[in-house]
Structure 1
Amino acid sequence: MTASDARRLLVPVDDSVTLRNTVAYVVAEAETAATDGPVELHFVDVATTRSVDPDAPEELSEATELLERVEVWVEEDLGEDPPTGISVETAVLGADRYLFSPGDYAEAILDYAADVGADRIVLDPEYSPGGATPMLRPLQLELTRDDIAVEEAPVERRTEATVLGRAASLPKYLTVFGASYLFYMLLSAWKPLDFLTGFFTATLVAVLLAPVAFSQQPSVFRVGKQLARMAVFVPYLLKEIAVANLQIAYVVLHPSLPIDPKIVELRAAVWGDAPVTTLANSITLTPGTLTVDVTDRAFDIHSLTAGSREDLFAGGLERAVRFVFYGREAAAIASPRERGDDGEGQDG
């Protein structure tokens, strides 16, 4: 690596089993390059939908703590007599925008790289800012669209660091066990044997699914708020279903059968498995619209009438789902039509 390549290194960080080794590699490269001139190390934590998440302060605190930990590691690796010319900068990116796909994350990273004049990006081989879903390969492809060198830190992956090993934690086990046990008992006759078989069944489910059931640590406080907001959402959804039923009944009974079927794409401002699934199923439950496919945040929806499309892009259901999972602030985000999504689609 030449000195010019190493003058400004940008290192996106996320809590992973290889992050410590990646930091050590970057510091070693900086020490080598520092013999020819000043070196700036930029460590950045890319935010995950923090701009509209009411739990953003908690997540931003975690990001700040991780970056502080990285700074401590850099100091350790530089030793008591660090070479001159090496400086460290940290930042949290993406808190002012909505991030979902690898392209969104790449754009945030490249914007920062352009701002600071970074000429090389070093990626942790286990880097995955979106949660448990692997993102490194598609992110690398997205980053190469700009004129900047991108490399993967040549550090060893711990062979035991599988998805199960990385993701498992006591809160996840307890949450999955409790939910599974409660569901089992709701379907049982509450006999003594049911309590025993329910315990073993819930334990098995927790062992198998807890490591991959969440992209972040479960929070009793957060889940409690979401359940309370869900109690408000359900009556709203039932009202929307009833209104849509009346609209479809009118269309069916009208002599001219005024239907205009089309498949449209809705780019919804929701993220995460549970919110996306909730919105997709809510759209399907509402007569006149059917969720056909979901890719990232793009929903392919079959709509039967122009009125159903109008309601869809007015954003009522989307706002309601955001309210359930992210709170009142997220509900105030512009509707799809206000964001410029006109809902044009294919005839169906």
Structure 2
Amino acid sequence: MIRLKHFVAATSASLALAAATTAAPPSHARAGPTESEAKLLKVAFIGGSITEGAFSSVPAKSYAGLVSSWLGTRNCKVEARNLSLGGTGSEFGAYRASHDLAGFAPDLAFIEFAVNDAGNARPAMFAHIDAIVFKLRQANPRVKIVYLSTTDIREEAERRAGRRARWVEDSAAAAAFEGLQYIDVGARLWVKVIAGAPVATYMSDVVHPNDSGHQLYFEAIRDALDSTIPLATQPRVTSSRLIGQSKLDTARLERGSLATGCRPGTLALKYMDAALTCDQGDSFTYTFTGTTIGLLKAEVRDGGRLACTIDGGNPTTADFYSDATHIYERPFPLFLYHNLPSGQHTLACRVTGETISLPQGTSTGHKVTVGYFMVSDERPVTL
């Protein structure tokens, strides 16, 4: 499958999205509340690079920035957090949710993984969305959760034929399964394109919306939520439909620096604040309890290769340089082992002397930095 989502880096500034922006109020806006009458509304945006704000000129003009600004005109004092990471889907979202929320209890949460989950099997995708829902409800049992389907060029033929792509239908089905409000924000963009506008008017790289595309996504969200804001008190719900099967309530990030071997190190990348750094010939071991283990790795221009085993067998490798690294350096999740027997396991890894060479470029070194380990007791689910 062509992984279009890896082509462009999201703007790092969008990770610190503030509720107050310089965007002009939409035409639907009402006069903003006074400080004394405003109700605090905590808002979380959880998704990939589209939600992170890639290709918006400034964070305030991303759909998340526009939604936050609009909410601030609706008798709300808004505290918004953009908890998104480019190139990642709902699987990593399930593992990082507790870490990213870190005590933040949103009243309103937006989930956006349709594009990055495209091609994933329904049971796994449903389980990972379910886990994010569960963790949001653990943070605030009265949170209102909205699932958003964005779009990209792969959907053009279906939209022109009056249909939605299979992966959009999968996202709609996952939202319905969880009882979430669902908004097909991509539909508004395709109405414009089918009426004659070039795709590039709204998606500069056929995946990520530019300011005009973000504006369309915002308008779809605004119109769908307009009658519900200010947000009424939501029913109290503390669980989700699949968490008992999936065991993804245990999904978590564990600091790379907890491994034995190599050395502690940090990088100026998200999730690399408590990392483990290794050079050629270095090795480390990490003992954990669970059925799944992965690495949140730093893909950098001098990235190297790890050769790993689990409990002395089942060898695999992990590359810290990719086809996107020549454009930008990034944190990126890689799951190494699934469906292990329950209990304690030891991951043992060594940095090899191989130089990674790809059509898009060649690594300049052998550096390996692990920000976090991804661990859980995850089990396959049956829908």
Instruction: State the TM-score, normalizing by the size of structure 1.
Output: 0.33
TM-score, length of structure 2 as denominator length: 0.31
Higher strand share: 2
